Amino acid sequence: MRKYVLMGVQGSGKGTQAAMLAHDLDITQISVGEIFRWHVQNHTKLGAQVRRVMAAGELVGDDLVETVVHTRIEEHDWNFGFVIDGFPRNRRQAEFFLESYDLDAVVHLDLPDDEVRRRVLARRLCSVCGVDYNLMAHRPAVEGRCDVCGGALVTREDDTEEALTARLRDYHDKTDPVLDLFRRKEFVVTVDARPEPTEVQGTIRAELGLPPYGQTGETQGTRRIARRASTDASAPV
Ligand code: AMP
């Protein structure tokens, strides 16, 4: 049983890295942002509650986030473990997590703010299947159309200058202290998130003492994931 947390600022590739880790190790990926995006896209009651907050780049309230995470983990579809990305994002969420689950490791993806801006503002998402693109690193074959399903590519509602500024501020004010808390209690590894995704994944594996990337699990799927740009959006959970 493996339990990992992947932390990193927007655009650091935490969704992509979590998906690669999950696929290859046959563990379950839990992406909190992705769960919220699914609810917004499907116009659920929860989606209506979080849409505006997300679009402004702000954090959803702790009670709601904790309920969503708790409910998701309680599904117990993670016989071999899980990797969670996008949670915790502040001290209270970290404490909630530390009280309930023993973690194997926390992976911190480190990316300078100027690179975050460059990546996030070039990010696009398929409105149909959710695959993510980056107009610098992973352009679609046909402009504006998804390579996988042909769906229209859209900008995430929260990938604007204003929302990004709010998210970076929140990250440094609220999420950086979580790393300090984790460092006192958990095994934290910090990895440079600037190289291309497979290289970052290789470093994560080495730091965690795992077999090299691609030597376990279902390679067809991992190849597709490896092609994806280093952005946060990930396959739906
Ligand atoms: P992400 O895909 O991780 O960037 O998350 C997208 C958005 O979902 C964030 O900007 C928040 O509005 C919301 N969100 C995701 N995870 C959390 C969390 N742990 N706490 C509060 N809000 C969150």
User: How remote is the CA of residue 105 from the centroid of ligand 1, in Å?
Assistant: 21
Where residue 159 falls among pLDDT bands split at 50, 70, 90?
confident
Between 167 and 111, the higher pLDDT residue: 111
| Band of residue 216 on the pLDDT scale cut at 50, 70, 90 | low
Per the model's pLDDT, the better-predicted residue between 84 and 56 turns out to be 84
Average pLDDT, integer, range 188-214: 93
Average pLDDT of every residue of the chain: 86
* pLDDT in the model for residue 217: 52
Distance 32 CA to ligand 1 centre (A): 6
Least confident of 13-17, 25-29, 182-186: 182-186
Over range 47-66, report the average pLDDT. 92
Q: For residue 191, what pLDDT is reported?
A: 97
Using pLDDT thresholds of 50, 70 and 90, give the confidence band for residue 10.
Answer: confident
- Residue 178's pLDDT is 93
User: How much is the pLDDT for 115?
Assistant: 93
Evaluate if residue 192 carries a pLDDT over 90: yes
The residues pairing with 84 across neighbouring beta strands, listed in sequence order, are: 5, 30
Q: What is the pTM of this model?
A: 0.81
Interatomic CA distance for residues 121 and 58, integer angstroms? 17
Contact status, residue 85 vs residue 234, Cβ threshold 8 Å: yes
| DSSP structure string for 129-148 | T--EEETTTB--SSTTB-TT
pLDDT at 157 over 60: yes
State residue 186's pLDDT score: 80
pLDDT digits 0-9 by tens, 72-106: 998 888 889 999 999 999 999 999 888 888 899 99
User: Among residues 72, 156, 205, 228, which one is catalytic?
Assistant: 156
What is the predicted pLDDT for the residue at 219?
42
pLDDT at 152: 95
Q: Which of 2, 72, 89, 228 is catalytic?
A: 89
Work out whether the CA dihedral 10, 14, 16, 19 comes out positive or negative: negative
Give the per-residue pLDDT at 234. Answer: 35
* 87 CB near ligand 1 (under 6 Å): yes
The string over 199-218, giving b where at least 16 C-beta atoms fall within 10 Å of a residue's C-beta and e elsewhere, is: ebbebbbeebebeebbeebe
Residue 174 annotated to the active site: no
- The answer, yes or no, to whether any atom of ligand 1 lies below 6 A from the CB of 167, is yes
